Chains A and B, each alone.
Chain A
Amino acid sequence: MSATGFTGIVVFVLFMGLMIFFSIINKDREENNVRPIPGYDKINQEINVAVEDGTQLHISLGRGGITGPESAAALAGLSLLKQVIEKSSVCDHPPVVSTGNAVISILAQDTIRGSSKAISVGDQRRNPSGELIGVTPFSYAAGALTTIRNDNVSANIHTGWFGNEITWLTTAGERQSSSTIAGTVQLPAQAVIYASASDPLIGEELFAGGAYLGAGKMHQASISTQDIIRWIIIVIILGSVVLNILGIDSFIEDILAGSM
Chain B
Amino acid sequence: MTDILCPTCGRPNSENHSSCDFCGGPLGSEDITSVQNSSLRDDLFSNENPNEPLEPRESMDEASRLDSLFSPDPPPLDSQKEPGDQPPESLNDVSRLDDLIPAPESTEALPEEEIQTGESLDDSSLRDDILGSDDPLQEPKPQNHFPLDNLFPDDISAPELPSQDPLPDSPPEDDQLQEKSSMETPGEDWDFLTEPSSSSGLPQENSPAEEPQGDWDFLTPDPSSEETPPQDLDDPIPDFGSPGFSEDSGWLDMLQDPETREELASETSSDIKKEKNQTDWLDKIKRLDKSTEHVDEDSSFPDWLSVSEKPAEEPEPEPTPEPVPEIQPEPASSDLPAWLQMDGDDESLNEFLRRKDLTNEEYKPKINKEPTGELVTLEDDDEPAADLSDSQHIKFPSWAGNESKKEEIPEDLQFLAGYDPDSPPPDGVDALQIEEEEYFDDLFNEELPDWLTSASSEGVIKPTSEALSQGDLPGWVEAMRPVVESSDLAEEEDYMENYGPLAGIPSVLPAEAEIALDLEKAAKKPLDLITSKSNQEYVNLLKKLIGEENKAKTILRPAPVQTQRVLRWLIAIIMLVTTAGTVIFGGNIETEPPTQAQIQNTGYGALYDQIEKLYDSQPVLIAFDYQPAAAGELHAAAAGVVDHLMEQGTYLSFVSTQPTGPALAENFLETTQEAHRYQHTQQYINLGYLPGESAGLLSFVIAPKKIIPLAFDGSNAWGSPPLVNVDSINDFEMILVITDDPDIAKIWIEQVGTILDDTPLTMVVSAQVEPLIQPYFRSSPQLLSGYVSGIIDSMIYEQILGRPNLATETWLPFNLGIVIAVGTIFIGGLANGVLSIFSRHRSKLIGDTK
Contact = CB atoms under 8 A, between A and B. Distances in A.
Contact of B743 (A171, A185, A198, A257): A185
Given A136-B627, A136-B628, A136-B660, A67 B746 contact: no
Contacts of A137: 627, 629
Contacts, number: 58
B313 to A, nearest CB: 12
Interface string A137-181: 110000000000000000000000101100000010011011100
Mostly, the A contact residues are loop
Nearest to A4: B754
Contacts of A120: 310
B583 interface: no
A36 interface: no
B747 A68 contact: yes
A171 B772 CA distance: 26
Interface residues of A, number: 29
B629 A174 contact: no
B746 A123 contact: no
Contacts of B781: 257
A163 B694 contact: no
B297 A135 contact: no
A69 B741 contact: no
B696 interface: yes
Interface in A54-112: 65, 67-70
A186 B563 contact: no
B692 interface: yes
B742 A187 contact: yes
Contacts of B771: 187
A188 interface: yes
Given A174-B561, A175-B563, A186-B741, A69 B629 contact: no
Interface string B616-639: 000000000001110000000000
Contact of B696 (A67, A186, A188, A253): A67
Q: Which of A138, A174, A177, A178 has the most B CB atoms < 10 Å from its CB?
A: A177
A187 B628 CA distance: 20
Interface string B736-753: 000001110011000000
Contacts of B660: 136
Contacts of A4: 754
Q: Which residue of B628, B693, B781 has the most chain A CB atoms within 10 A of its CB atom? A: B693
Interface string B563-605: 1000000000000000000000000000000000000000000
B47 interface: no
A65 B693 contact: yes
Contacts of B560: 174, 177-178
A121 to B, nearest CB: 11
A114 interface: no
Interface in B292-336: 293, 297, 310
A69 B694 CA distance: 7
Contacts of A135: 659
A120 B628 CA distance: 44
Nearest to B768: A188
Interface string B656-669: 00011000000000
Nearest to A65: B693
Nearest to B779: A256
A123 B741 CA distance: 41
A122 interface: yes
Interface in A191-240: 198
Contacts of B694: 67-69
A130 B67 CA distance: 43
B695 interface: yes
B742 A188 contact: yes
Contacts of B659: 135-136
B741 A67 contact: no
Contacts of A65: 693
B554 interface: no
Contacts of A187: 742, 771-772
Contacts of B291: none
Contacts of A185: 743
Given A174-B563, A186-B741, A253 B780 contact: yes
Interface string A111-140: 000000000101100000000000111100
B695 A68 contact: yes
A251 B398 CA distance: 97
A198 B746 contact: no
Contact of A68 (B293, B558, B628, B693): B693
Interface in A241-258: 253, 257
Interface string B663-694: 00000000000000000000000000000111
A194 to B, nearest CB: 14
A175 B567 CA distance: 14
Nearest to B750: A69
A67 B695 contact: yes
A186 B742 contact: yes
Contacts of A138: 627, 629
Nearest to B771: A187
A197 B603 CA distance: 34
Between A136, A137, A188, the greatest number of chain B beta carbons within 10 A of the residue's beta carbon is seen for: A188
Contacts of B558: 179
A147 to B, nearest CB: 18
Nearest to A42: B558
B563 A69 contact: no
7 tightest Cβ-Cβ pairs between the two chains A and B: A177-B560, A68-B694, A68-B693, A67-B695, A188-B768, A67-B693, A175-B563
Interface of A: 4, 65, 67-70, 120, 122-123, 135-138, 161, 163-164, 171, 174-175, 177-179, 185-188, 198, 253, 257
Given A67-B692, A123-B297, A135-B659, 9 more contacts: A68-B693, A68-B695, A68-B743, A70-B693, A70-B743, A136-B660, A174-B560, A174-B563, A198-B561
